[in-house]
């Protein structure tokens, strides 16, 4: 597999110093930037999927006319949390 380059990135010297000061053992600034790029790609993909699910849920509610109040949703979530805590204690 051939690799591709990302355009070089110009940053303030202080930003580079801070980044270098946070590198882990054996880590390079290039690997840090690559991992940061990968993390942000994943985060944005997850955001897009979340938004798509929200739109699909909205469309389904409009189609069926079935809506839930915030209070109903919070009660359901509280019940799920209580159940999970109970299971964790066992």
Q: For residues 61-71, give the mean pLDDT.
A: 96
* 3-class state of residue 17 by DSSP: helix
Q: CA 1, 46, 86, 81: dihedral to nearest 10 degrees? A: 180
Question: For the residues of 60-80, what is the DSSP string, one character each?
Answer: HHHHH-----HHHHHHHHHHH
Q: Which residue has the tokens 């940061």?
A: 36
Other Cβ atoms less than 10 A from the Cβ of 19: the count is 14
Q: What is the pLDDT of residue 43?
A: 98
Structure confidence at residue 58 as a pLDDT band (50, 70, 90): very high
Residue-averaged pLDDT of the chain: 96
Structure confidence at residue 52 as a pLDDT band (50, 70, 90): very high
Say if pTM beats, i.e. exceeds, 0.85: no
Q: Which residue has the tokens 């299971």?
A: 87
Cβ atoms 33, 9 nearer than 8 A = yes
Check whether 90 has a pLDDT greater than 90: no
């Amino acid at each position: 597999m051939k690799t591709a380059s990302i355009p070089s990135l110009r940053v303030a010297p202080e930003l580079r110093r801070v980044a270098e000061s946070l590198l882990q053992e054996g880590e390079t600034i290039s690997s840090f930037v690559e991992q940061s790029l990968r993390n942000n790609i994943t985060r944005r993909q997850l955001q897009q999927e979340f938004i798509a699910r929200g739109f699909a849920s909205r469309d389904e509610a409009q189609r069926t006319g079935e809506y839930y109040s915030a209070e109903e949703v919070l009660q359901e979530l509280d019940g799920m949390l209580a159940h999970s805590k109970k299971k964790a204690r066992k």
